[in-house]
Each structure stands twice: as structure tokens, then as C-alpha cells.
Structure 1
Amino acid sequence: MTNTPLTDLGWSDTFASHVTSEINETVQPGRLSDVHRDRVLAKTAEGDASLTLPAGMTTGDLAVGDWVLADLATGQVKTLVPRRNVVRRKAAGNDMRAQLIAANVDTLMIVTSCNADFNPARLERYLALAASSDALPLVVLTKADLADDAASYRREVERLSPLATALTIDARDMSELATLAPWLRPGDTAALVGSSGVGKSTILNGLTGATALTQGIREDDAKGRHTTTSRSLRQTTCGGWLIDTPGMRSLPLDNSADGIAQVFADFDGLTDQCKFSDCQHLTEPGCAIQAAVAAGDLDEKRFHRWQKLQREDQYNSETIAEARARHKNFGKRVKSAMKEKRDKP
């Protein structure tokens, strides 16, 4: 791609306001399309560029979709332009860091399928992720042609949250893929997220003409298989941009309290009616949440999912100091309990 206007790449006054007189004939804005271990690829007004990073910056600090200022003459990134938003999750395992998924995203396209992959609890996580990232959530339900009642899946998604908008498509049908065009206008950016095999690569291929490898549908679970192993930014035939991501086996939330509150707005609206301001919504008298569940006004399974997400987000959002303090206190309790048992006659 050559001589592409920055606005078509997603550049806006918001980003320009953070940039001073550094821009000149050689130092130009570039948008990251690929992040590798030791270098990044960027799209600039002059074309594609392969860039190295300055001392003190690692590829772990960057996400596909980021804007940087780069010296095109030397092929080096100079600085990261402040993000408009970023999609992140907690890294796997005991790592306290957040893993960056994509940056400067307008729409989070949450892809699932009208079969056994459909999972309300996982969709609520993605909806909370979108809300906490300040990205518009769009649930794309694929394999609609294989479902007896695809519309029932769409209705179930829309019952999960007032934020949820859902579309059912056959990702192999170009006329149905065209229904995604309003979210992919020139300058717009959407990120495809979801489990492996739900059709993300098929959507990418259809909307961009890319050649991401996809394999056939397995008869036992109706899941396609693909080989997407990294994130990339690609232009669509609609003019907008798609960030493809590998399938996620898990989605631990990180600093997503606001997003959870938005997805479960019906629950949060009742918490002010509880008798006690510190109500945990378990067995406390005068709990408005428990009363609504008992009356059938709130779904009990969804209530338990709400509590689980809140506990998990609080745990994952701990600072390193808070985690160490908690582990230290836990160790003290264990030692105290063991001493008590040893001292008993």
C-alpha cells in the first residue's frame, strides 16, 4: 500500500493533538500492523515500513493498532502516540501483567457460532471487555446456515446485556458478510475476537481478500480450524480495518469493574436498594438482589456469573504489592492454624 492518507488509516485529531513539532520529512506517524519479537511493521502515508524499537521499549509494550512516530530514514520507532483505547486481558498463569490484544479499536467483533461453541458466560466476558475498553460490542454469530433456529441465538445474546447487538451470518456468503460494512467504514477499526474455529479467518478472508489458511468443518463438533497465531491489521474492501487475533482459550479480565457494571446494569441498578451499603448479596437481610432472584425477576445463573466475574476481576486487578500482602497474610494464617493444631494436647 502506498500514498494512503493518514485519515484512511484511522488517524484523527485526537492523535494529532498529542504530537508536537517532531513530525518532519523523515519522522512520520505509522500505524502498527504486525508486532514481532524484535521488530514491528507499520503502515504510513508513504507505504509499509519495517521498524526497530529504541532502547527501553519492547514489543510487549506495543499492540497492533497502535500509532507511533517513526524515523523512516533510520527505520526506528521514536515514540508511542497516546492511545485512544486499548483492549487487554490478564496474562495467563500467575503473571501479574496485562496482555495487550489491540489498540485504538472502534468495534470489538465478538465472534461465536450457532452451535456448541455458544457460551453465554464467555460472551458476557467479551461484552465486559468491550465496555471496559470503550469499544462498541458487536456479536457476530456464524454458521447460521447450520442452525435450526439461528434467530434464537441472537435473541439470547441480546438478553445478556443492554449493550449487546448481534448479527447472524453464514461467513462464506459475501452478501451476508456485507452486513458488517457499517462497522468498517474508511478510518474505522474493528478487532475480531473469539474462540478458535468459529469463523474469524473466514470473515477476514471474505472482507479483505486475504489468504489466511482455514480448514474444513469437523463433523464431530462443527468447528472449523485455522492457523492464526498472531495479531495483524488488514484493510477491508469496505475501506475500514480489521485486526485478526488468535483464538482465546480463556479470557481473564483485568481492571474491568466498569465494564462488568455496564453489562450487568440491571444488577447494579438494584444494589443501591440493599439494606446495607456493604451488602455482599449472599445471605444478608434486606438484600435487593437476592429478593429479585427469589422473585424470578433476575436469572439465578446469571446472578452467579455476575458474582464470579466481580471476584475474578478484583483478584486479577490487584497490584503486585496487594497480591504480596494477601499471600503474606494467608501464610500467617496457615502457620497460626498449624501451630494451634500442634499445641493441642
Structure 2
Amino acid sequence: MTHALDDLGWGPFFADQVTDDDAGLVPMRIAAVHRSRLMAETGAGQVRLDLPIHASTADYAVGDWVLAKGDTRVVARLLDRRALLRRRTEGADTRQLIAANVDTLFVVTSCNDDFNPARLERYLALANEAGTDPVIVLTKIDKVDDPSDWIDRARALQRGLQVVALNAKSPDAADVLAPWCGAGRTVALVGSSGVGKSTLLNTLSGRDAQATGDIRESDAKGRHTTTSRSLHPVAGGGWVIDTPGMRTLHVADVAVGIEMLFAEITELAPQCRFRDCTHAHEPGCAVQAAVRAGTLDAGRLDRWRKLHDENRDNTPVQTGPRGNRTTLPRGSKRR
């Protein structure tokens, strides 16, 4: 099937980056990232792209737009991203790229023990920071008598958060998610293994794009059926990026995303007596007062503190005179 560049998600943001010096280069969108090569959508199908010497596939994300040489299919330039989802990996200084230029992030969880507010809030913080609209997708509603309690719990995770509930195996699932899909739109699926991401991908794409697996009903844990990130066309228009289940999700440099996620705490903080209040034990803390008054959930505050502290410890700091700053990890001393 042939797709126009606009259908692939190309638009003025990317077109404005192309200059006269790029004559002869072809815009392509990264569809899969492998150890030593890239696959890209051209509008007329997928092609293999090679990298220039000393370049690494780790610098590219599914959903990226690149300019490539039409004859050799070697990447010449990576275009600036409109949005980038990334996470910190344990023991690494760099962050792993999850997906680029995503309009909507479908955070998939299910109506069972997989529903974990602390983990879901991490996904929301990443989406907020990237400027990508998050939507909680509750699956396996056919396994519960009434999903309304699960929907209410999901909506409580962030002010104004959109939540949908569906059976991923039902053809109606594509209709439920249709408002976020369409020509030129890109959505991404994230969540734990076994929540139905691969089934949902197959439903959206109208074909068996990904193998599916069952979960263990004893602990709601699933097997990894998606092993790499990939870009697939949505049957009704648009594109979907599938991602492997993530066992850990560490955050770094998402301060704005956390402020948006915990808006009720962010708005109370200026009312505290001390500007650097940690909302733990200081007198005159407006946040603790809200907890005592029952207008702020204590568990919500605990999760804010853990996420806030982790982000602070993982985010590099800038030191040195203006114009000659050095980036250091938290806790490092300049020599």
C-alpha cells in the first residue's frame, strides 16, 4: 500500500527543517531499530537504511524522521523531534529512546492486579514531559462484572486524564480508540507484558502484526511477546508504535512532567511557609495540612515524593561559569 508523506506524519514542523543543501535527500520515517541497521517507511513500503561511519542505532527511535541518500540509502541527517519518549536505564548514563514524534501515548493496563498506580504515574510523567497526550487504556473488561471502579481509579491519577475501557480482542476496540487515530496521527502502546498490547496492535492494524501470549491468572504476569519497537499502519488511518513490556521504568529530567502529574500538590506548594518545603515534616506545610484535612490522599503524596526524589537524583546538574558549564551526575564533585 502506498502512503503520502503527510499520511506518515510528515508536516510543516519537519518540512521547515529541509534546506537547499538537502537537495537529493529523501524523507523517510524510522519503522524499526535493530542492532546495526534501521528500517524505514518511505510511503511506498519499507526499506533498509544504513548508517554513516561512527553512527549508532541507539541514537535513533522508532517514529524519527530522517533524510537519506536516495541511491545508497544511507542516513544523512536526523531531523529534530516534535516529541520524544525516553527512559533512564539502571546503571547507564544515557537514556533509552522509546518512541519519537508520538501524538498520543496509550498507557495500557488491565482490570486486574496489573493496575499499579505508581507505575502508571511514571508513564504519565514521561508523556507529560515529552508533550505527548496520554490516554489510559483499561483492557480485560470482559473479565470483571463492572469496570467503573477501575475507570475511577485511573481518572484519579491525573487531572483531566482521558480513560477508556475495552476488550482488546473485540473489533469494537478500534472504534473506541478511533478518536486518537487517523491519517498523519501516531499513537504508541506502552505497558506491562500480558495486558493486551499485542492483541490491541493486531486489532488496530487489522492483521496479525504481532504474536500474542496469555497471562498467569495467579499474578496477572505475562510473557514478552513484543521484543522490539516497531511502526505499523492503523487500519482506519494513522500509525501505531508497539513497544516491549517494561519491567522497570526509571525517570530522569521529567520535573515538568511530574508537576503536571501531581497538579494538586504543585498548586499547594506555594502556600507552604518555607519555599524549599519537602512536604514531610516542616511546620506550616500546606500539603501536609491537605492530607490531614482529607483533601489529599496520603498515598498520592508518598508516590509524589518517591518520584520527585528519584528524578532529582537521576537528573544531571549544570556547574561552572556561564558559557563554560559542565554537566555532572547528582552527587558528583567537580575536581
Aligned residue number for residue 322 of structure 1: 328
Structure 1 residue ranges without an equivalent (≥5) = 330-345
The number of equivalent residue pairs is: 325
TM-score (normalised: structure 2)? 0.93
TM-score (normalised: structure 1)? 0.90
Max radius of gyration: which structure? Answer: 1
| Structure 2 residue identity aligned to 1:65 | G
Task: Give SS of 1:266's match.
Answer: helix
Question: How many angstroms apart in 2 are the aligned matches of 1:189 and 1:59?
Answer: 21
Question: How many angstroms apart in 2 are the aligned matches of 1:170 and 1:117?
Answer: 15
Task: Give SS of 2:106's match.
Answer: strand
Deviation at 1:23, TM superposition (A): 4.5
Question: 1:232 aligned to 220, 230, 233, which one?
Answer: 230
Question: How many angstroms apart in 1 are the aligned matches of 2:221 and 2:93?
Answer: 32
| Structure 2 residue identity aligned to 1:295 | A
| Structure 2 residue identity aligned to 1:298 | L
Aligned residue number for residue 323 of structure 2: none
Is the aligned partner of 1:206 residue 2:203?
A: yes
1:61-118 deviation line (CA, Å, top 9, x unaligned): 1000000000121110000011111000102x22111110000000010000000100
Deviation at 1:148, TM superposition (A): 2.6
Task: Give SS of 1:54's match.
Answer: coil
Aligned residue number for residue 270 of structure 2: 272
Is the aligned partner of 1:149 residue 2:146?
A: yes
Deviation at 1:137, TM superposition (A): 0.4
| Structure 1 residue identity aligned to 2:14 | F
- Bigger CA drift: 223-232 or 142-151? 223-232
1:19-62 deviation line (CA, Å, top 9, x unaligned): 112454x4210000001111101111343211101124210110
Question: How many angstroms apart in 2 are the aligned matches of 1:223 and 1:249?
Answer: 11
Check 1:226–1:214 CA distance in 2 against 1; reply closer, same or farther (3 A cut).
farther
Task: Give SS of 2:161's match.
Answer: coil
**Are the counterparts in 2 of residues 33 and 65 from structure 1 also a CA contact under 8 Å?**
yes
**Are the counterparts in 2 of residues 127 and 164 from structure 1 also a CA contact under 8 Å?**
no
1:97-108 pair list within 5 angstroms: 97-108=94-105
**Are the counterparts in 1 of residues 26 and 67 from structure 2 also a CA contact under 8 Å?**
yes
Aligned residue number for residue 293 of structure 1: 291
**Are the counterparts in 2 of residues 201 and 226 from structure 1 also a CA contact under 8 Å?**
no
Question: How many angstroms apart in 2 are the aligned matches of 1:217 and 1:94?
Answer: 30
Task: Give SS of 1:160's match.
Answer: coil
1:218-273 deviation line (CA, Å, top 9, x unaligned): 34234553421100000010111000000000111121000000010000101100
**Are the counterparts in 1 of residues 189 and 243 from structure 2 also a CA contact under 8 Å?**
yes
Deviation at 1:294, TM superposition (A): 1.1
Aligned residue number for residue 240 of structure 2: 242
Aligned residue number for residue 19 of structure 1: 18
Identity fraction in percent: 50
Question: How many angstroms apart in 1 are the aligned matches of 2:257 and 2:273?
Answer: 25
Please identify runs of 4+ aligned residues in structure 1 that moved more than 6 A: none
Q: In angstroms, what is the RMSD of aligned CA positions?
A: 1.7
Question: How many angstroms apart in 2 are the aligned matches of 1:85 and 1:176?
Answer: 26
Question: How many angstroms apart in 2 are the aligned matches of 1:46 and 1:244?
Answer: 21
Check 1:284–1:219 CA distance in 2 against 1; reply closer, same or farther (3 A cut).
closer
Question: 1:133 aligned to 130, 133, 151, which one?
Answer: 130
Structure 2 residue ranges without an equivalent (≥5) = 318-325
